[in-house]
Amino acid sequence: MEPPDSAIAAKVQSFKEWLKNSFSVDLEDLGVTLRCDQFGGIGVFACRRLGPGDLLGRIPLEAILHAGQVRKSSFGAKVLAVIPDIPGEELLWLYMIWGREEPELCGWYPYLQILPPSDPLSWYSDEESLQWLVGTPMLQEAQQAVADQVERHLNVVGRLQKADPAFFTSHRFSLEAWRWARSCYVSRAFDRLAFAMSCEWDSDGLCPLLDSMNHRNDAEVEARFDQNGARLQLPTGAVGYQVGDEVHHLYQRNCSNSSLLLHYGFASFKNPNDSIRELKFNLIPGTVSQRLSVLNTTMPELEASSAGDVVCIHLTQGLTLQTTELPLQLLRAASLLRSGRDFEERHASCMDKARVCNWLTSALCKMLDQMQAFSKGAGLGRFPAMVLLRRGRLGRFAFSERARQIQAARPTARVVVLPQSAASQAAAIYAITAYCILRKAAHVAEDSAEMALLAARMERRQQRETSAASGAESA
């Protein structure tokens, strides 16, 4: 059996030859090469010094794979004969499924061979990953996406199999293959709107080579799209790359972990763009309709919805790890939902602010308690800090000993062990960051309530002293 590294090297070599012979894209001329990255996939690496203004990669328009290309193929004609109104992206997914097993018939076979062999967004249906997401908005979003794709696969592939069961076999066009194609498309395709000539594409475009670059938040890159195709280059003033450095792309600017996880299947620790915008409030039964109506009337700019006795709001300004003061929008929403009265910061008393902050503390702690991966049975008190451990190369005994040492040194901390699989680890990182943001906001709300209550007591004491002094003068 051929070693895995040798098999990947053969696929990479075939892909490089395909780019050079079919589209005149020579990686050696660009000063880059493809090889295995630290995650076990294929990345782009510099094979010479790359400085400001240098190209990192380019791909001509005719090498970009999109639904418009598929429509011109015999495979596309076969699908369109059965489902003429099929969405462009789904037509492309079917072509990807078919093409990765057709070295002689598919023009993009060398490219499809270097795509991830398994679903790059497998966390959507991975039980361990979903357990980490309990209590977060991402769980419901993932479950809905999976249900939608099951329905679409059944509809599309079912019709194709009914028309031609010998060609559209259930083995080749399985739900697993459908998920693989969709995930590769979602995580790699470039927005069609970036291209001037994309009116006939009917889908976003897969750009060979360019989509092999991994993401980094601080990647220095300029993207150029025109009638000649797409290219990525280093901007003026960029640090550049030395020989052997991995060349990175910036998938999206200011991308939160929720967006990274949904579209690319990974998340970043200490992501400065991460925030929590969706907050839930448990209301007294029977009051939801009236309070939601008041909220919508008073704050029409705030998106809000209800399910049972729970109202969910979407903040314009999200909570972050840097939050040191509660947004006025959140204070107003909490007051309207819990008391039916607006919170006017200029005229509110210290007791008014203390009450609103206490309501917020309760709501935030309720959300924390629902995140079962961290907070099971934590109640409504201050939630413990977390210490993260990676198994890495530590043996079982050494790892257990390290956890014991940390717990002994910080008895109030919660030791959280990151899972080993990449899919579960991405979900865990997202959930951990969400937990930390909510925990920080809960502490800010609790501290604000205590400060407001203290100020209210001081005001009362001052009023009593003033009243007593006035009484003494009158006497």
pTM of the model: 0.84
Residue 420: which of 400, 393, 397 has the closest Cα?
Answer: 393
Q: Is 340 exposed, middle or buried (0-12, 13-18, 19+ CB in 10 A)?
A: middle
Q: pLDDT tens, position by position, for the chain (475 residues)?
A: 344 567 888 999 999 999 999 999 999 999 999 988 767 788 999 999 999 999 999 999 999 999 999 999 999 999 999 999 999 999 999 999 999 999 999 999 999 999 999 999 999 999 999 999 999 989 999 999 999 999 999 999 999 999 999 999 999 999 999 999 999 999 999 998 888 766 788 899 999 999 999 998 888 999 999 888 899 999 988 899 999 999 999 988 888 899 999 999 999 887 888 899 999 999 999 999 999 999 999 999 999 999 999 999 999 989 998 999 999 999 999 999 999 999 988 888 889 999 999 999 999 999 988 887 775 433 334 444 545 544 444 344 344 555 556 556 655 556 677 787 888 989 999 998 898 899 899 999 999 999 999 988 887 887 777 776 666 666 5
Predicted pLDDT at 391: 42
What the chain holds in terms of domains, given with CATH numbers, is 4-253 (3.90.1410.10), 276-465 (no CATH)
Residue 270: which of 45, 71, 440, 118 has the closest Cα?
Answer: 440
pLDDT in tens, 323-341: 999 999 999 999 999 999 9
Predicted pLDDT at 367: 92
Residue 260: which of 425, 143, 372 has the closest Cα?
Answer: 425
pLDDT in tens, 409-428: 655 556 677 787 888 989 99
3-class secondary structure per residue, the chain: CCCHHHHHHHHHHHHHHHHHHHHCCCHHHHCEEEEECCCCCEEEEECCCECCCCEEEEEEHHHCECHHHHHCCHHHHHHHHHCCCCCHHHHHHHHHHHHCCCCCCCCCHHHHHCCCCCCCCHHHHCHHHHHHCCCCHHHHHHHHHHHHHHHHHHHHHHHHHHHCCCCCCCCCCCHHHHHHHHHHHHHHCECHHHCCCHHHCCCCEECCCHHHCEECCCCCCEEEEECCEEEEECCCCCCCECCCCECEECCCCCCCHHHHHHHHCCCCCCCCCCCEEEEEEECCCCCHHHHHHHHHHHCCCCEEEEECCEEEEEEEEEECCCCCCCCHHHHHHHHHHHHCCCCCCCCCCHHHHHHHHHHHHHHHHHHHHHCHHHHCCCCCCCCCCEEEECCCCCCHHHHHHHHHHHHHHCCCCEEEECCCCHHHHHHHHHHHHHHHHHHHHHHHHHHHHHHHHHHHHHHHHHHHHHHHHHHHHHC
State how beta strands 32-36 and 214-215 pair: unpaired
